[in-house]
Amino acid sequence: MTAGLGEAVPVHATAIQPHLSDITFYGRGYGHGVGMSQYGARGRAIAGQKAPEILAHYYAGTTIGTRNDAATIRVLLLANFAASATKRLTVVGKSGTWTIDGIAKAFPADAKLTLAPVAAGSTSWVLRVRSAAGTLLHTATVTGDVWVRPSAPSVLLQLISKSSTKNIYRGVLRIRLRTTATVVNHLAVRTYLRGVVPAEMPSSWPAEALKVQAIAARSYAIKHLHPTTGSYDIYDDTRSQVYRGRLGEAAATNAAIRATAGLVVLSGTTVANTLFHSAAGGATENNEYVWVSATGMVTGSPVSYLRGSGDRAPDGTPYDAASPYVTWKTATYPLATLSNMFATDARTNVGALASIDLSVRGVSGRLIRVTLTGALGTKSVSGDVFRSVFNAARPAADPMLRSTLFDVAPIP
């Protein structure tokens, strides 16, 4: 069954619940469900499938091609950092000498760069470099951008101001100084991948699955390059793909990156937007049924290679069966409790609940739109808005809705 733009699609026959009582939501999978299922790729690799076959399943109609992965990618590490005299932006050079553009000297390993505005709200900053022992090596007042460069590929830069245990990076750091500071890591795509692939997929997984992740991550990175616009190409978190720098690297994933050097997924002659997620729960979804309006209307266009399909072995076993979230369920809630939970958000507040319509679903069974009816009227929201409101309102110790593939009874 298909739909025109703006229409939702009733695919599964879950009807309005006319007499709600205690409710438990039962679900499958983890994540948005579009493109490659990481646990599914693992299961397919264990079943003997090779990376090209796995990718061809998850990205329908695509082929494998090559692109230059020596191209520079700009990764946003830290945005709008509000530095002060007591909380300076701090970078340390590790393992060798490093330089700052416009300063005619090299600084030794473990020397520390600090930056703080000369006054609150100022765009002028005090730059200082001190040795590991605390000796002042350089000071200046600067504006604009500060470029910090390793003197050799083996030299690393630690962004102390980023609150992470994985804050050491290869490549160059560009520090953009305005009233706040923004830090962007410039490095080759192939180098960037070393900090991405093991962050997105455990390095202990089968080699073919790691190759799948390497090719998908490379394709996603190259697809999102826009070197002539903006100050960065990609985030270092789940808004793009997770990047943990040098301390996130692993030997097995480095090997997968080398083994697939330059390989990307192509739709025609264009690099595909290779979206991926943790676990499909047995089926993936069409892109246009996942990214819908807040009220659950289909507004986007179908992408030819992001088609939903079954993700099960011939015997019916989900390829992502090893995922802890191949199936899951929430706690059980009385109707009054659910009413209060959904009353916390204006988008879902209908007062005392009378019914919840869970019938409008995509090809995988994921909810496109949920309609709530209560004492104050009726409201429709996307499956993901319903999920996010539930997750925000539930008691912190209770299980969350892991995807929009859920119902009020177990899903086969």
Is 166 domain-assigned? yes
Same domain, 306 and 394: yes
Average pLDDT along the chain? 95
Cβ atoms within 10 Å of 9's Cβ, excluding its own: 18
Same domain, 312 and 164: no
Is 10 domain-assigned? no
pLDDT of residue 15: 46
Nearest-angstrom CA–CA distance, 13 and 305: 27
Nearest-angstrom CA–CA distance, 204 and 197: 12
Same domain, 61 and 198: yes
Same domain, 251 and 305: no
Same domain, 365 and 218: no
What letter does residue 400 receive in the DSSP assignment? P
What would the pLDDT profile of 10-22 be if each residue is shown by its tens digit? 444 444 454 567 9
Same domain, 214 and 320: no
Same domain, 250 and 298: no
What would the pLDDT profile of 204-262 be if each residue is shown by its tens digit? 999 999 999 999 999 999 999 999 999 999 999 999 999 999 999 999 999 999 999 99
Same domain, 92 and 122: yes
pLDDT of residue 20: 64
C-alpha distances in Å from residue 227, one per residue of 78, 128, 135, 186, 230 = 19, 30, 38, 11, 8
Domain that holds residue 224: 38-66+190-231+241-274
Helix (H, G, I), strand (E, B) or coil at 188: strand
Q: Tell me phi and psi for residue 302, to 5 degrees.
A: -65, 140
Same domain, 207 and 175: no
What letter does residue 312 receive in the DSSP assignment? B
Token reading at 401: 């809705």
Sign (positive or negative) of CA dihedral 318, 320, 322, 324: negative
- Spatial CA neighbour of 217 closest among 134, 274, 150: 274
C-alpha distances in Å from residue 273, one per residue of 70, 76, 276 = 19, 19, 9
Q: Which amino acid is at 326?
A: V
- Spatial CA neighbour of 59 closest among 38, 34, 39, 42: 34
The answer on pLDDT for 65 being more than 50 is: yes
Residue 412 in contact with residue 14, Cβ under 8 Å?
Answer: no
Same domain, 168 and 196: no
Same domain, 309 and 339: yes
Q: How many distinct structural domains can be found in the chain? A: 3
Is 9 domain-assigned? no
Same domain, 42 and 27: no
Is 11 domain-assigned? no
What would the pLDDT profile of 280-298 be if each residue is shown by its tens digit? 999 999 999 999 999 999 9
Is 327 domain-assigned? yes
Beta bridge partners of 318: 312
What would the pLDDT profile of 29-55 be if each residue is shown by its tens digit? 999 999 999 999 999 999 999 999 999
